[in-house]
Amino acid sequence: MEVNDVKILLVDDESDVLDFMKYNLEKEGFWVYTAQDGLEGLQLAKKINPDIIILDLMMPKLDGIETCRELRALPEFKNTIITFLTARDEDYSQIAGFEVGADDYITKPIKPRVFISRIRALLRRLEANSGDAKLKVGDIVIDRERYMVVKSGVEIQLPRKEFELMSLLVSKPGRVFKREEILSKVWGNETIVGDRTIDVHIRKLREKIGDDYFKTIKGIGYKFDA
Domain coverage including residue 179: 134-224
- What is the structure's pLDDT at 133? 65
Do 83 and 52 meet the contact criterion of CB atoms below 8 Å apart? yes
Give the chain's residues under pLDDT 50. 190
101 and 172 in a single domain? The answer is no
Do 52 and 126 meet the contact criterion of CB atoms below 8 Å apart? yes
Do 85 and 109 meet the contact criterion of CB atoms below 8 Å apart? no
| pTM, full prediction | 0.59
65 and 21 in a single domain? The answer is yes
- What is the structure's pLDDT at 174? 84
Report the candidate in 115, 93, 92 with the shortest Cα–Cα distance to residue 32: 115
Distance of CA 71 to the CA centre of its chain: 12
- What is the structure's pLDDT at 107? 80
Q: Give the list of residues 6+ apart from residue 203 with CB closer than 8 angstroms, or none.
A: none
- What is the structure's pLDDT at 79? 72
79 and 147 in a single domain? The answer is no
Domain count across the chain: 2
Distance of CA 69 to the CA centre of its chain: 16
- What is the structure's pLDDT at 171? 84
State the DSSP H helix or E strand holding residue 206, giving kind and residue range, or none if neither: helix 195-209
- What is the structure's pLDDT at 52? 92
Domain-terminating residue out of 103, 130, 157? 130
- Report how far residue 46's alpha carbon sits from residue 76's, in angstroms, rounded to the nearest whole number: 9
17 and 43 in a single domain? The answer is yes
- What is the structure's pLDDT at 143? 84
- What is the structure's pLDDT at 60? 86
110 and 139 in a single domain? The answer is no
Domain-terminating residue out of 76, 109, 130? 130
For 131-181, what is each residue's pLDDT tens digit?
556 788 888 888 877 778 999 889 998 888 899 899 989 988 888 888 888
124 and 138 in a single domain? The answer is no
101 and 202 in a single domain? The answer is no
Domain-terminating residue out of 84, 114, 130? 130
